[in-house]
């Protein structure tokens, strides 16, 4: 079983420091450059990782730290990268595979950020359908680059409504068993299971979810936050800023089931150029596109894991708008919006749902065709599209022990 001792600096009132953990108070003998902190925030698609990464980056930069962000996806053209860069953070993306299968790219990305932004803290967001991060990322990083990085405990975020369903505590649409295998494995290897979006839960729901998670995943500590309202964030951030991942044996993973589970999720990324004769409401446009896609996917019985889109105006002015949908039975939400109409821009669309990629493609094409219908002076042109099922995960390294 995996050892859970991990505090590096004893925090008053918190768990005791592990006997194996190194003291932070003792200054390194002659270290010219202090190792950077490497923080990984995992969790299933739509759990709120990017929102939390952005809040964490903001929090750390306010306390004077230099931050480098690393995003990751099976495809290219990532909404997350566009969103984080729009907030001014130095961000490198690793497209075309998960961190574990593209370990060398992860190291290259960190080196590139080092040259440009010289970060004190790296914050990495792995692909939401990825698991086994401790054996394939944390331990190899520590083995090969232990002098460069101090690795924080692994946080795994959950969307509480999704988690209540997965744990069987509430009814509602779920993914197939093999997809749920990945979901549960993510929780099994977590040091901190972070219940995000606590603003969406009643007190009895929160109690039920907290005790359900504690009893099913006894090795993890359960924290409760809302990346949106800020509730609980400071305590969590303080822990990952100070403590080290503890080591111990990594978990067992059946890579056949893992691969089957990933392959059940269709993946589609595309860009769409939109322009109008006159200015148009970019927020409304995103809402219309998201609603139309949602109804098409519903009609195919395709459970949405995450639909996210950004719209960036060609003028480069006025920031970007961002919309998300994380379940079929929810409403698409604008988490960033325009204050003024725009004339032309580019939409990046990332869709992950349990369905064949061809179904996703048909839904996207027909939703784009619908866009122009109510507004004849608006043109929407599909620019570049990739749709696929992720291939079998083949980690570059897999260390069973720290």
Ligand X SMILES: Nc1nc2c(ncn2[C@@H]2O[C@H](COP(=O)(O)OP(=O)(O)O)[C@@H](O)[C@H]2O)c(=O)[nH]1
Distances (CA, A) of 209 to 41, 198, 356: 20, 11, 31
**Residue 333 near ligand X by CB under 6 A:** yes
x/- track of binding to ligand X for residues 37-66 (CB under 6 A)? ------x-xxxxxxx---------------
Question: Which one of ligand X, Mg ion, none is in contact with 197 (Cβ closer than 5 to 8 A by kind)?
Answer: ligand X
Question: Which one of ligand X, Mg ion, none is in contact with 116 (Cβ closer than 5 to 8 A by kind)?
Answer: none
List, in sequence order, every beta strand (DSSP E) within 332-388: 333-336, 342-354, 378-388
Radius of gyration of the chain (CA): 21
**What are the phi and psi torsion angles at 113 (to 5°)?**
-65, -35
Place of tokens 């993306």: 93
Residues 135-194 that bind ligand X (CB under 6 A): none
Q: Smallest gap, in angstroms, from Cβ of residue 73 to ligand X?
A: 10
Please work out the total of residues on this chain that contact ligand X, with binding judged by CB under 6 A.
Answer: 22
Binding site for Mg ion (CB under 5 A): 49-50, 80
Q: Where are the alpha helices (DSSP H) in 103-202?
A: 103-117, 133, 139-145, 160-166, 177-188
Q: Smallest gap, in angstroms, from Cβ of residue 242 to ligand X?
A: 23
**Residue 102 near ligand X by CB under 6 A:** no
Question: Which one of Mg ion, ligand X, none is in contact with 189 (Cβ closer than 5 to 8 A by kind)?
Answer: none
CB atoms within 10 A of CB 381: 11
Place of tokens 């019985």: 301
Residue nearest to Mg ion (CB): 50
Q: Smallest gap, in angstroms, from Cβ of residue 90 to ligand X?
A: 18
Residues 6+ apart with CB under 8 A from 215: none
69 pairs with which residues across the strands? 91, 123
Q: Smallest gap, in angstroms, from Cβ of residue 80 to Mg ion?
A: 4
Chosen residue from 197, 327, 361, 387 binding ligand X by CB under 6 A = 197
Contact residues: ligand X, CB under 6 A: 43, 45-51, 128, 196-197, 199-200, 226-228, 306, 308, 324, 326, 333, 335
């Amino acid at each position: 079983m995996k050892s859970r001792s991990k505090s590096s600096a004893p925090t008053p009132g918190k768990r005791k420091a592990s006997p194996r953990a190194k003291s932070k108070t003792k200054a390194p003998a002659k270290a010219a450059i202090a190792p950077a902190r490497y923080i990984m925030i995992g969790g299933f698609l739509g759990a709120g990782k990017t929102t939390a990464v952005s809040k964490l980056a903001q929090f750390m930069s306010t306390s004077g730290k230099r931050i480098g962000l690393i995003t990751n996806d099976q495809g290219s053209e990532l909404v997350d990268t566009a969103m984080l860069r729009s907030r001014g953070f130095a961000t490198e993306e690793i497209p075309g595979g998960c961190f574990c299968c593209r370990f060398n790219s992860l190291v290259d990305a960190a080196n590139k950020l080092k040259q440009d932004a010289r970060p004190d803290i790296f914050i990495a967001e792995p692909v939401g359908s990825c698991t086994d991060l401790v054996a394939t990322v944390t331990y190899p990083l520590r083995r090969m680059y232990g002098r460069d990085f101090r690795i924080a405990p692994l946080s795994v975020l959950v969307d509480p409504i999704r988690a209540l369903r997965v744990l069987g505590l509430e009814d509602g649409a779920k993914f197939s068993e093999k997809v749920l295998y990945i979901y549960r494995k993510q929780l099994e290897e977590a040091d901190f299971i972070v219940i995000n979006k606590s603003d969406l839960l009643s007190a009895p729901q929160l109690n039920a979810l907290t005790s359900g998670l504690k009893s099913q995943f006894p090795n993890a500590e359960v924290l409760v936050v809302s990346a949106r309202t800020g509730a609980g964030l400071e305590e969590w951030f303080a822990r990952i800023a100070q403590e080290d991942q503890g080591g111990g044996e990594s978990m067992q993973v059946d890579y056949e089931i893992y691969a089957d589970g990933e392959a059940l999720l269709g993946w589609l990324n595309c860009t769409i150029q939109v322009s109008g004769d006159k200015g148009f409401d970019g927020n409304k446009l995103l809402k219309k596109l998201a609603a139309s896609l949602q109804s098409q996917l519903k009609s195919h019985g395709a459970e949405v894991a995450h639909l996210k889109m950004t719209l960036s105006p060609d003028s480069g002015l006025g920031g970007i708008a961002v919309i998300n949908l994380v379940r079929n039975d929810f409403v698409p939400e604008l988490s960033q919006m325009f204050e003024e109409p725009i004339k032309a821009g580019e939409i990046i669309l990332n869709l992950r749902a349990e369905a064949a990629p061809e179904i996703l493609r048909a839904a996207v094409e027909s939703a784009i065709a619908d866009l122009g219908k109510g507004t004849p002076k608006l043109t929407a042109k599909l620019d570049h599209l990739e749709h696929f099922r992720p291939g079998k995960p083949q980690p570059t390294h897999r260390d069973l022990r720290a």
